[in-house]
Structure 1
Amino acid sequence: MTLALAVVAGALIGLSLGALGGGGSILAVPVLVYTLGQSPAQATTGSLVVVAVTSLVGAIAAHRAGNVLLARGAVFGLVATGGAVVGARASAAVAEPVLLGAFAVLMLVVGTLLAVRQWRGRHADAGEGTTRRPGLDDPIITFSPTFACQCPRALKVLVTATAVGLLTGFLGVGGGFLVVPALLMALSLPLEYAAGTSLVVITITSSVALLARSGSGIAPDWWPVVALTAAAAVAAVAGARVADRADTRRLSTAFTGLVLAVAAYTAAQALPALV
């Protein structure tokens, strides 16, 4: 039964990461804690394994479909690594009830932001959804022939990337719910390319955060993590195909409802321990 739950949960996580470019990883910690019996510290470490492997598989599938801008994703991910290291080290110093309580609050915030984003999307002009391959726009910083800097955009990328890294390292989430909007606004990417490119960012930040935790002495129960990761990786490939062929708004709406439901359950379980 535990293995079956891991497979089903992994499929949901992978579909979300592959189709939406993020969000699914936020389910990994509650799944590992409440259905697979791991401690919050073990779960936030195991979640990084799930997220890193699944995002890598999804990024490869999205790249083959032509929906990844590799250089931009790599730069954003490298900027975020500093925050990932700090977050991973801070997580080891925090009590588990606080860790799980913070995760519950994060889920509620993410679910609300997803709902607001969908509401705004329904009221956007129909012309905004035009699919096109983006050209090479003006870079944020150039050194030749003269130095030039679009500093407001550079600051936006720096702040958002650092926040993504901190969340990834501290709570074991991929941060795709922050990466996708950041790539849309700061780098002016169309939605379909932002979703695929975000998987590159998540792969980098999750891997760095996992390496930063490697000396903490906290190891998850590996068999459930492996089952969850395998199911998520397979589903991520399917999710990338869904993103390339179908309207993902319905999937996004269903996923938002799931996140809010899991958030409410996590809060009900975690917050009383803080009182």
Structure 2
Amino acid sequence: MTTLILALVAGAVVGLSLGALGGGGSVLAVPALIYLLGFTPVAATTAALVIVTLTSVTALTGHARDGHVRWRAGLLFAAAGIGPAMLGSALAASIPGAVLQGAFSVVAAGAAVRMLRAGEEREGEHVAGPVRAAGAGAGLGAVTGVLGVGGGFLAVPALVGLLGLRMRAAVGTSLLVITVNSLGALALRGGTLHELDWAAVAPFVGAAVLGAWDGRRLSAKVKGTTLRRVFAVALLLVAVFMLVDAVL
């Protein structure tokens, strides 16, 4: 019963983050799976990909209906990341758990600092060149594959800073990127899915899907800058905790 409650609570938080911010779900899912539900780092990254993929698809439909998805930019960004995501996923199994956890915490901390330093939401949109967008997408795909994260917590700043999207459009478009990258990474981990504890993963997914709908409604009511800063602080705290744990 304790496992079920923890999975439901953690799933709701992850879904809320994905729905409201277009990212951060996997950054929260991985530590929740490790510290609350007892998953190994490798199993946690695989389970996080499953959770984030299903939740992102759900959230994406709502944001697309609201007109907040830039399909062309998102598909270009995601297409460049598919290959690196699959390669990174293949390499992840050979990386020690402590190294994987430490790398995860460093990337998460960097993303948190970047989000805290980001300026106010811009009024208009501009689109970066395809080469720059593809380069950013490839890097994001590699991170997705190795660390088992959908990449939204990195995609949103990149879509705003490199592709010039406004915050709400970046949130919706990042969900498209997350879905494609996560599916690419999962393609090489399909043989290990049966090893997951589905008694914990299934309720986690269910709560996350429901939380994503609430997150989408929240994003329409709260200023994007406020949401981003609150999440960045929480992300930074999680990153510091995981880094200390990995080192000690």
The alignment status of 1:76 with 2:52, answered yes or no, reads no
Partners of 1:184 and 1:249 lie apart in 2 by 12
Q: Contact 1:91 / 1:169 at 8 angstroms: preserved in 2? A: yes
Change (3 A) 1:253 1:174: same
Q: Deviations over 1:138-189 (max 9, x none)?
A: 8x7xxxxxxxxxxxx2221121101111111101111112222332244332
Q: Deviations over 1:83-132 (max 9, x none)?
A: 10111011011111111111122222222222222xx33xx7xxx347xx
Using the TM superposition, name which of 240-249 and 259-268 deviates more.
240-249
Q: Which residue in 2 is equivalent to 1:205?
A: 181
The alignment status of 1:173 with 2:149, answered yes or no, reads yes
Q: What are the equivalent positions in structure 2 for 1:208-219 lying under 5 Å apart?
A: 208-215=184-191, 219=195
Could you say which structure has the higher helix fraction?
Answer: 2
Q: Which residue in 2 is equivalent to 1:147?
A: none
Q: Which amino acid letter does the alignment assign opposite residue 235 of structure 2?
A: V
Aligned with residue 189 of structure 1, among 165, 178, 198: 165
Return the offset for 1:218.
7.8
Q: Deviations over 1:55-107 (max 9, x none)?
A: 11110010111211223322321221011011101101111111111112222
Partners of 1:30 and 1:154 lie apart in 2 by 34
The alignment status of 1:18 with 2:16, answered yes or no, reads no
Q: Which residue in 1 is equivalent to 2:204?
A: 228
Partners of 2:169 and 2:115 lie apart in 1 by 18
Return the offset for 1:217.
7.5
Gap regions ≥5 residues in structure 1: 141-152
Q: Contact 2:88 / 2:145 at 8 angstroms: preserved in 1? A: yes
Using the TM superposition, name which of 18-27 and 79-88 deviates more.
18-27
Q: Which amino acid letter does the alignment assign opposite residue 39 of structure 2?
A: Q
Percent same amino acid at aligned positions? Answer: 39
TM-score (norm 2): 0.91
Q: Contact 2:46 / 2:193 at 8 angstroms: preserved in 1? A: no
Q: Contact 2:91 / 2:146 at 8 angstroms: preserved in 1? A: yes
Q: Contact 1:81 / 1:162 at 8 angstroms: preserved in 2? A: yes
Q: Partner of 1:4: helix, strand, or coil?
A: helix
Q: What are the equivalent positions in structure 2 for 1:76-115 lying under 5 Å apart?
A: 76-115=77-116
Q: Contact 1:167 / 1:173 at 8 angstroms: preserved in 2? A: yes
Using the TM superposition, name which of 165-174 and 18-27 deviates more.
18-27
Flag the structure with larger Rg.
1
Return the offset for 1:251.
3.0
Gap regions ≥5 residues in structure 2: none
Q: Partner of 2:195: helix, strand, or coil?
A: coil
Change (3 A) 1:248 1:188: closer
Change (3 A) 1:66 1:213: same
Change (3 A) 1:185 1:113: closer
> RMSD of aligned C-alpha atoms?
2.0
